[in-house]
Structure 1
Amino acid sequence: MKKNVGGIDKILRIVAGLALIILTATGTIGLWGFIGVIPLATGAMGWCPFYPLLGLNSCPISTKG
């Protein structure tokens, strides 16, 4: 898997995922909040399965040479 989630995108995914999971665990929102596992996992791995389908990539382009 080639990384396609970078920098700010990664941080936002992790924060949003953790926020949803914490809100669900405290009973503030319903069980649907466990969907936060998805952005948390994609942020932690640095790869989103939907980005290639949409032709997106938020990783900085590495220049060689």
Structure 2
Amino acid sequence: MKKNMGSLDRGIRVILAAVFVILYYNNIVTGVLGYVLLAFATIFLLTSVISFCPLYPLLGINTCKTK
């Protein structure tokens, strides 16, 4: 897998994941929507760690500046 995520993209995903987790654990978002947000948070963190988003090649997006 080639890296296709830049540092700004990774940072935004980590921040969004943190916001989703905070919303869930403070009972602001509950039920099915809460579980969906937790799933998205997990996906965002995982893709940030490996610097690869599987949707980007399908959409022709590459935010990584290194070749």
**TM-score exceeds 0.5:** yes
Question: What is the letter of the counterpart of residue 33 of structure 1?
Answer: L
Tell me the equivalent position of 2:13. 13
- Root mean square deviation of aligned Cα: 1.3
Q: What SS does the corresponding residue of 1:11 show, helix, strand or coil?
A: helix
1:8-51 CA deviation, whole Å, 9 max, x = no partner? 11100111011101211221112232122111211121100000
Q: What SS does the corresponding residue of 2:52 show, helix, strand or coil?
A: coil
Higher RCO by CA contacts (8 Å cutoff, separation 6 or greater): 2
TM-score normalized with structure 1 length: 0.82
Identity of aligned residues (%): 34
Question: What is the letter of the counterpart of residue 25 of structure 1?
Answer: Y
| Rg (Cα) greater in structure | 1
Q: What SS does the corresponding residue of 1:36 show, helix, strand or coil?
A: helix
Larger mean CA deviation between 19-28 and 9-18 belongs to 19-28
Structure 1, unaligned runs of 5 or more = none
Structure 2, unaligned runs of 5 or more = none
More helix by share: 2
Q: Which runs of 4+ in 1 moved over 6 A?
A: none
